[in-house]
Amino acid sequence: NKRQEAIKLAELTTKDWSTEELVQRGQEVYEKYCAQCHMAEGQGISGIFPALAGSEIALYDKDRHIEILMEGVQGSAMAAFGESYSEVDIASVITYTRQAWSNGENGDGVIVTPQDIVAYKNRIDL
């Protein structure tokens, strides 16, 4: 029922998520939904699907990273996922790609939490 869903969502989005929890969940989301285009090791396909490993956005631009997953990229194959996936799944897959393939060591290492996704949605009124 709707009340139980609301309670579950509140628990997920107010929980204090650790980097490890987000990365673990994010890896599952990535392998299920993202690896088909961006490839298992984040290397992408040149000229079609951008590499995420070593990507400037994945390394240093948390806000743009959130925007891309939420809104998609016009004129590209990157769809908007803001309405399709939970705040937890979006936050965890962004955190995963920001930590995987040496991105965590080479970039700013900033994680994205479900609260960040809720704040983004509230800011732009999805």
Reported as a single tens digit per residue, the pLDDT across 50-62 is 999 999 999 999 9
Between CA 51 and CA 54 the distance in angstroms is: 7
Question: Rg for the chain (alpha carbons), in Å?
Answer: 14
The band of 123, judged by pLDDT with boundaries at 50, 70 and 90, is: confident
Q: Position 95: which residue type?
A: T
* CA 107 to the chain's CA centroid: 16
Rounded alpha-carbon distances, angstroms, from residue 100 to 10, 49, 77, 109, 124 = 28, 17, 22, 10, 29
User: Chain-wide mean pLDDT for the chain?
Assistant: 92
Distance CA 48, CA 112 (A): 26
pLDDT at 125: 59
Q: Is a pLDDT exceeding 90 seen at residue 7?
A: no
Instruction: Give the tens place of pLDDT for each residue, 10-45.
Output: 767 778 899 999 999 999 999 999 999 999 999 999
Residue 81 has pLDDT above 90, yes or no: yes
Binning the chain into helix, strand and coil, the percentages to the nearest 5 are 60, 0, 40
User: Model confidence at 93, in pLDDT bands (50, 70, 90)?
Assistant: very high
Q: Is 61 exposed, middle or buried (0-12, 13-18, 19+ CB in 10 A)?
A: middle
